[in-house]
């Protein structure tokens, strides 16, 4: 089918879902994710219809070659499945009446806050190093070199970096909610809330800043949006205006940083300009799925994406590097693939749909069980949101033993939070 038909139709699917969700719930977590997918779909239209796709991508297809709509429809179906549970996530549905604001609880919060501050200080020192090297130059050095540069001979920094990253994933969402509601109920000062917000915002963006990664910067910004969307309906108009002003400042600063990264990485490339690479970044994910992977990739049977688990159960299994998988699959694997496309390379066309449907059903069942959509479960909900919005790029944060360990610990956190921070009323039986 003509690319001039497929890409606009792909955009209409996502944008139509955004409009439908927005009409039901306003600017909610679910409608925002649909909007982000729509924006990427819109950039895909520009990238392909302008011919820029064939200029900046090392594509295996001829210019304006027909594209199959099937993989894009299957990807949309998968996105629909995984986003459906997010319809239930609204601030009004979270039960805050059970939260206990005691001296002991505040002491625990302050200890966790201290870990976040130490983590932020470590990242500030690393940011100075990144600026001196140049963001783009540092990124090109690779992850192992960056890790050696930051942590070699400094085990304490490595320890607090690990604690800070775990805290940001598993603890911070609840702490932020606890402080926010504490401020709304007069239990903590405005200064504490604002200071914590600034620390949280910096920490969320710090990985991208200290590694020169545009993807991590953008992903961090999208993860931050979860909390603003969650609190949005409970904020005054004056506060909303201040937040929007702050967002404009942060986004402007990030544009400056990402522009610098892009110039350092691509200014010497005669094939594309720095701006071309930005359009490629925002628009490649959907055409790559249809043009480069569909009916071309040799399936890996899960050995590429889930190599940790093969190593765990087979002592003779040796994980392969990206060069090996490039030759094995016959396709480039460094492009954004979509959540369906990433799994398609592993298992073919049908199994990814089944896997993502089961994930969506399982999370829906989790939200309906026990305490439901509750404040102590906010870290689990945040983790799922991050997984869903990362689906633009691929099957992210759920493929390694480390990822699964983090997920399991995140699911355990609500039991501790409920026991320590929530009041459970005792219902007396009538005689």
Rounded-to-integer distance, Cα 274 and Cα 267, Å: 6
| Among 46, 55, 49, CA closest to 282 | 46
- Cβ atoms 138, 217 nearer than 8 A: no
Beta bridge partners of 335: none
What does pTM read for this prediction?
0.89
Mind giving me the DSSP string for 114-180?
HHHHHHHHHHHHHHHHHHHH-HHHHHHH-HHHHHHHHHTT-HHHHHHHHHHHHHHHHTHHHHHHHHH
Mind giving me the DSSP string for 203-252?
HHHHHHHHHT-HHHHHHHHHHHHHHHHHHGGGS-HHHHHHHHHHHHHHHH
pLDDT in tens, the chain (431 residues): 999 999 999 999 999 999 999 998 888 899 999 999 999 999 999 999 999 999 888 777 888 999 999 999 999 999 999 999 998 787 666 767 778 888 898 999 999 889 899 999 999 999 998 888 888 778 777 777 888 888 888 888 888 888 888 888 788 888 888 888 888 888 888 888 888 888 988 888 888 888 888 888 888 888 888 888 877 777 778 878 887 888 888 878 777 777 777 777 666 655 667 677 778 888 999 999 999 999 999 999 999 999 999 998 888 888 898 899 999 999 999 889 999 999 999 999 999 999 999 999 999 999 888 766 778 888 899 999 999 999 999 998 888 888 898 889 888 888 888 888 876 544 444 44
Rounded-to-integer distance, Cα 202 and Cα 198, Å: 6
């Amino acid at each position: 089918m003509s690319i001039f038909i497929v890409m606009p139709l792909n955009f209409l699917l996502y944008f139509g879902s955004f409009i439908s969700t927005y009409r039901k719930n306003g600017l909610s977590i679910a409608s925002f994710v649909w909007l982000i997918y729509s924006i990427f779909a819109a950039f895909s239209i520009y990238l392909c219809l302008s011919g820029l796709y064939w200029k900046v991508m090392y594509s295996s297809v001829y210019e304006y070659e027909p594209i199959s709509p099937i993989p894009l429809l299957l990807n949309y179906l998968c996105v629909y499945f995984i986003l459906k549970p997010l319809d239930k996530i609204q601030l009004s549905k979270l039960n805050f009446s059970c939260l206990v604001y005691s001296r002991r609880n505040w002491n625990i919060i302050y200890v966790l806050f201290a870990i976040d501050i130490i983590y932020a200080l470590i990242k500030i020192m690393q940011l100075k190093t990144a600026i001196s090297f140049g963001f783009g130059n540092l990124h090109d050095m690779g992850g192992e070199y960056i890790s050696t540069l930051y942590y070699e001979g400094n085990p304490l920094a490595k320890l607090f970096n690990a604690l800070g990253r775990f805290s940001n994933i598993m603890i911070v969402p609840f702490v932020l909610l606890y402080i926010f509601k504490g401020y709304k109920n007069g239990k903590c000062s405005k200064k504490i809330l604002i200071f914590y917000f600034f620390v949280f915002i910096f920490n969320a963006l710090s990985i991208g800043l200290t590694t020169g990664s545009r993807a991590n910067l953008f992903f961090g910004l999208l993860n931050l949006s979860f909390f603003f969307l969650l609190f949005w309906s409970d904020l005054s108009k004056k506060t909303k205006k201040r937040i929007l002003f702050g967002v404009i400042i942060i986004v402007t600063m990030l544009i400056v940083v990402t522009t610098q990264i892009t110039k350092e990485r691509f200014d010497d490339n005669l094939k594309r300009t720095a701006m071309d690479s930005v359009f490629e970044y925002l628009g490649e994910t959907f055409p790559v799925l249809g043009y480069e992977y569909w009916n071309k990739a040799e399936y890996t049977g899960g050995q590429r994406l889930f190599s940790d688990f093969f190593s765990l159960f087979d002592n003779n299994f040796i994980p392969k590097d990206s060069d090996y998988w490039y030759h094995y699959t016959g396709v480039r694997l460094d492009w954004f693939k979509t959540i369906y496309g990433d799994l398609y390379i592993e298992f073919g066309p049908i199994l990814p749909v089944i896997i993502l449907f089961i994930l969506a059903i399982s999370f829906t069942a989790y939200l309906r069980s026990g305490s439901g959509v509750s404040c102590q479960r906010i870290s689990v909900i945040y983790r799922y949101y991050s997984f869903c919005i990362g689906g633009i790029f691929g099957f992210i944060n759920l493929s390694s033993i480390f990822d699964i360990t983090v997920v399991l610990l995140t699911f355990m956190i609500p039991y501790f939070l409920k026991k320590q921070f929530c009041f459970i009323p005792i219902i007396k039986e009538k005689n």
